[in-house]
Structure 1
């Protein structure tokens, strides 16, 4: 495919959220003439989630800028190895090394306030007698931890419409780190209470990313959509040749 073709931006949401978390960024990108796809991530398993997002990427006719928020950063670290991915953009996200898990990366740094607000709920695993464990955030604590600078009415809705993450995703290791072969950008949310901002900084610096810091809660896409859209467009411009 021609490298100068206009890319499609694929937006990958994280844990405890869904694709609607990009609701304020998508209009900014489409107004700039970009095609956007915002799939639903299953949030069942890091490797399986990445395989699903990779299938979405392969279905795009042309180059892709792959954007991941939070846990979605870990997902794009794997899925970004697809041939048509031109760049990776991490938003308050996990940039894993090969052989590293979410738990290992996070464990290098002091816990955020999230650790004491997690709820574990069993769920049936299809085709198995075993049960899985869903991880979500206490509804009452969600707004302050996740969305402190988002409209309170919206934060309250987000709190009760969370998309949980299966616990197994925290311990699975990354078989590949796409940032080693693809240009990458990273946004640190400096007022993040969900992921310690130093976790974000460490992963980005280790990967040699172009990094910006924004004073924002974890849900930077809703609180600072223009800053997010600008970073994505930087990636688009830098790879359009």
Structure 2
């Protein structure tokens, strides 16, 4: 099997620029990379969008999902040409499980008290609700080991997640049929690290613990790339 294209799927309150530190390292390693913008409107809609992106890539694909992006790749990973999954401080949902249900099994992280809810218009329907993070608290909760000047920018440039995404259930769990790897951010204040561990262990993944904030890709890019390249090698034959 040829070397897969790595598709990097960002999470809530972020965009594809959260992979800015790992993309050059992957490219320098000879890996093709794509980091699409996730709509962050609904789990089902976001998964369908990423699946459509993946289906148009010739050859095999390795999906890498951060945070909420982990839930997205759990569903989108059933696309025919997906050969593996990598979760970065992410949600590995079971079929029929929602983000809220998985998180509800464990004590809240610091994020819970820092969420901000804002209405947004939906043509022809009731207003939706955007969820973001209090700007003043974002650096400490998301990025305490990221350069403060960058964390400040990230706090002011969040891509909100629609509240709808928290309650939708995963119609499939791709980790049941694809080899999977997971990194736990052991100093995570956004997702309780035990949520990450539980999902990974349930899925039988190979797990790597990294002493990191939630934004592990920016805080420890080489360690993330090492895990991704391990997955690339395991899903390649040349």
User: What TM-score, normalized to structure 1?
Assistant: 0.98
**Number of aligned positions between the proteins:** 237
Q: Deviations over 1:52-71 (max 9, x none)?
A: 00001001011000000000
Whole-Å Cα distance in 2 between the matches of residues 85 and 44 of structure 1? 23
Contact 2:119-2:130 at 8 Å conserved across structures = yes
The unaligned stretches of length 5 or more in structure 2 are none
SS in 1 for 2:12: coil
SS in 1 for 2:64: strand
Q: Deviations over 1:82-138 (max 9, x none)?
A: 111010000000000000000000000000000000000000013x23100000000
SS in 2 for 1:202: helix
Whole-Å Cα distance in 2 between the matches of residues 208 and 195 of structure 1? 20
Contact 2:187-2:212 at 8 Å conserved across structures = yes
Whole-Å Cα distance in 2 between the matches of residues 32 and 234 of structure 1? 12
Matched, 1:196 2:192: yes
| 2:50 alignment partner in structure 1 | 53
Whole-Å Cα distance in 1 between the matches of residues 5 and 138 of structure 2? 32
| 1:131 alignment partner in structure 2 | 127
| 2:147 alignment partner in structure 1 | 151
Matched, 1:180 2:176: yes
SS in 1 for 2:117: strand
| 2:219 alignment partner in structure 1 | 223
| 2:10 alignment partner in structure 1 | 13
Whole-Å Cα distance in 1 between the matches of residues 129 and 235 of structure 2? 40
- CA RMSD after TM alignment: 0.5
How far the C-alpha of 1:155 sits from its partner, in A, is 0.2
Matched, 1:110 2:107: yes
How far the C-alpha of 1:146 sits from its partner, in A, is 0.2
**Counterpart among 226, 233, 236 of residue 229 in structure 2:** 233
The unaligned stretches of length 5 or more in structure 1 are none
How far the C-alpha of 1:7 sits from its partner, in A, is 1.0
Whole-Å Cα distance in 2 between the matches of residues 200 and 134 of structure 1? 24
Whole-Å Cα distance in 2 between the matches of residues 179 and 6 of structure 1? 20
Whole-Å Cα distance in 1 between the matches of residues 57 and 185 of structure 2? 30
| 1:213 alignment partner in structure 2 | 209
User: What TM-score, normalized to structure 2?
Assistant: 0.99
SS in 1 for 2:194: helix
| 2:63 alignment partner in structure 1 | 66
Contact 2:97-2:169 at 8 Å conserved across structures = yes
Whole-Å Cα distance in 2 between the matches of residues 125 and 29 of structure 1? 38
Matched, 1:33 2:30: yes
Q: Which 4+ residue blocks in structure 1 deviate beyond 2 angstroms?
A: none
